Amino acid sequence: MFTGLVLFAYLLSHFLNHALGNVSAEALQAGVMWHMEIWQFLPVAILFYGSVTVHAGLGLWALFQRRQFRWRTIEPLQLVLGLSVPLLIYSHVIALRLSNVMYGIDKLYPQVLYNYFVAAPSWRVWLMVLVMLVAWTHGCIGLYIWLRIKPLARRAMPWLLALAVLIPTLALLGFYQGGRDVIRHASAPGWQDDNMSVKQLGTIAQQSTLDRIGDAFVIGYLGLIGLALIARAARGLNERRGGMIRLTYGTDRTIRVPKGLTVLEASLRHNIPHASVCGGRARCSTCRIRVIGDPSELPAPSSREAFVLDSIGAGDDPSIRLACQLRPTHDLAFMPIFPPRNVAAARQAARAMKVGEERYLVSMFVDLRGSTKMAETRLPFDTVFIVNRFLAAVSRAVIACGGQPNQFVGDGVLALFGLADTPREACRNAIRAASAIAAAVEDLNSFIGHDLDEPIRFGIGVHGGEVILGEIGYRDHMVFTALGDSVNVAARLQDMTKALGCETLLSDELRATAGLDADALPTQQVEIRGRVEPMLVCPIAQSRDLAAALDRSELMLA
């Protein structure tokens, strides 16, 4: 990150210098003097060339070290762009810097622009444009990946994006204006004498030595890339011979992968969603997992992993590890602590609806029971872990039954059904989801029950009716949701499950809309706060029974 920032600072300074070409040739020339003053000052030059070497080395190392390239597009793109910069820029660097160091040749803007816009074939100009865009894009992606996890920077993103577009645009325009200026003056008497001397261009012999150095650089650099790829292939063969291990994701699934992959790489290889905001760079800790069973067989955390775990207060718990750093050597069972982000997908689905539209929806509130007591007797970290597992189990069940987890409030979820279904389907889906939630929580209890003083319990309230869809909140904190009396009633029904001693409380109206017979479920009348009339509801002691009631009604219909 540090070396990347140094290189980005150089690029920024160089681009701002180019942008002065929009003012005048003199401004361009004055700018380059400042630029050189700064970057050729010995300590800065050592820092800069050291950063170039380390950064390029890290790029080659990443090419070797990453087992899995099925990252989101932005990450392989950044690596490819970064690795291509040396090949695109080497001739420019040799012509300007190395020629100065070896032979004292003084090439500045007039000589460089003359070469690009007058002497060389026109594709050289486009090559320069390409290298500017490639280097800038690579730098911006690196900055974006670094800054996107910093709350302050996230707020500044629109401004940073504007700068990321504006600066190279001005630089390219300045470069073009400088070129036009040279084309205009190149044929003027005396210009060639002033700007094309041997001191400024070097001799033919010097140029051919520089060309040979350039060729050697290309061969050497491509050789290093080839070596990295050969080393990857050899390591892959070796790892396959080393055997496979099984990774078990909680109660969900088990995969087999060769030894040597990180847990995150294994997830990516098998298309298993896994939170990883920093892209596996051990910066964000969102990929962390809780190892189930004895963690003593695992390789010890690297210093980088230990540092991140310490910084989140998990340094003393050997069962918490970073999935992007842990390379298990034996079978491993674990649970990701953070659910993968599906917020974007949910928002996209929600956006398909017309905001402000009034329509029938089923609202379901699901609440974890006893979380306050749990928080009193457990470490905060453990409580967060259990609540997240519960919310993940509920969300999966809701999604599997055609619903959408819409909001998470503390240890509870508001789920919506019917965003793309008829009222009858929405009601039936919600009833089936209540049963699926019970099954998922039962699985969760059998999986982490030994860690709990008492099994996880829950309450569900479900009601359907007309709601208004809309985005509520403030500025970037807007949430798509449903507003209306039926949502409030569902929340109150969920509250009442405690008093009535049941797991799920459905409104009888919802039962009827779902097409279940009046005697399919038990009923009773209750007073609902804020409603004049009492309401007929169906208290369900065991939510799993709801699936059977639905199946019976389907059989009768058939």
d(CA 456, CA 371): 9
Note whether 517 and 534 are within 8 A (CB): no
Q: How far is the CB of 320 from ligand FES (least distance, A)?
A: 12
DSSP state, residue 462: E
The residue nearest ligand FES at its CB is 324
CA geometry: angle 234, 239, 245, nearest 5 deg: 165
Q: Which is nearer to ligand FES, 323 or 415 (CB)?
A: 323
d(CA 28, CA 83): 30
Task: Give the footprint of ligand FES on residues 284-343 (CB under 6 A).
Answer: 284-287, 322, 324
Q: How far is the CB of 254 from ligand FES (least distance, A)?
A: 22
Nearest alpha-carbon partner for 250 in 537, 500, 443: 443
d(CA 210, CA 520): 88
DSSP code per residue over 157-187? HHHHHHHHHHHHHHHHHHHHHHHHHHHHHHT
Considering just the CA atoms, what is the radius of gyration of the chain in Å? 32
Q: How far is the CB of 455 from ligand FES (least distance, A)?
A: 32
Q: Which is nearer to ligand FES, 16 or 277 (CB)?
A: 277
Site string for ligand FES, 398-437 (x = CB under 6 A): ----------------------------------------
Residues in CB range of 376: below 8 A, 6 or more apart: none
Q: Which is nearer to ligand FES, 27 or 278 (CB)?
A: 278
Q: 47, exposed or middle or buried, with CB in 10 Å at 0-12, 13-18, 19+?
A: middle
Which one of residues 97, 269, 270, 283 is an interface residue with ligand FES (CB under 6 A)? 283
**Applying CB under 6 A, does 282 fall inside the site for ligand FES?**
yes
Q: How far is the CB of 304 from ligand FES (least distance, A)?
A: 9
What are residue 105's phi and psi, to 5 degrees?
Answer: -70, 135
- Among the listed ranges 154-162, 186-194, 280-288, 309-317, the one in contact with ligand FES (CB under 6 A) is 280-288
Q: How far is the CB of 391 from ligand FES (least distance, A)?
A: 20
Q: How far is the CB of 521 from ligand FES (least distance, A)?
A: 46
d(CA 174, CA 196): 22
Q: How far is the CB of 323 from ligand FES (least distance, A)?
A: 6
Q: How many residues bind ligand FES (CB under 6 A)?
A: 12
Helix, strand, coil tally for the chain in percent (to 5): 60, 15, 25
Site string for ligand FES, 76-115 (x = CB under 6 A): ----------------------------------------
Task: Give the footprint of ligand FES on residues 339-378 (CB under 6 A).
Answer: none
- Among the listed ranges 36-44, 88-96, 270-278, 384-392, the one in contact with ligand FES (CB under 6 A) is 270-278
The C-alpha torsion from 170 through 175 and 180 to 186, rounded to 10°, is 150
Q: How far is the CB of 249 from ligand FES (least distance, A)?
A: 16
Amino acid in the structure at residue 263: V
Q: Which is nearer to ligand FES, 224 or 287 (CB)?
A: 287
- Among the listed ranges 89-97, 137-145, 217-225, 277-285, the one in contact with ligand FES (CB under 6 A) is 277-285
Q: Which is nearer to ligand FES, 284 or 361 (CB)?
A: 284
DSSP state, residue 454: S
Q: Which is nearer to ligand FES, 135 or 324 (CB)?
A: 324
Q: How far is the CB of 76 from ligand FES (least distance, A)?
A: 16
**Applying CB under 6 A, does 263 fall inside the site for ligand FES?**
no
Which one of residues 278, 375, 399, 536 is an interface residue with ligand FES (CB under 6 A)? 278
CA geometry: angle 124, 130, 136, nearest 5 deg: 140
Q: How far is the CB of 274 from ligand FES (least distance, A)?
A: 8
The C-alpha torsion from 550 through 553 and 555 to 557, rounded to 10°, is -140
Nearest alpha-carbon partner for 273 in 264, 284, 283: 264
Residues that bind ligand FES (CB under 6 A): 276-278, 280, 282-287, 322, 324
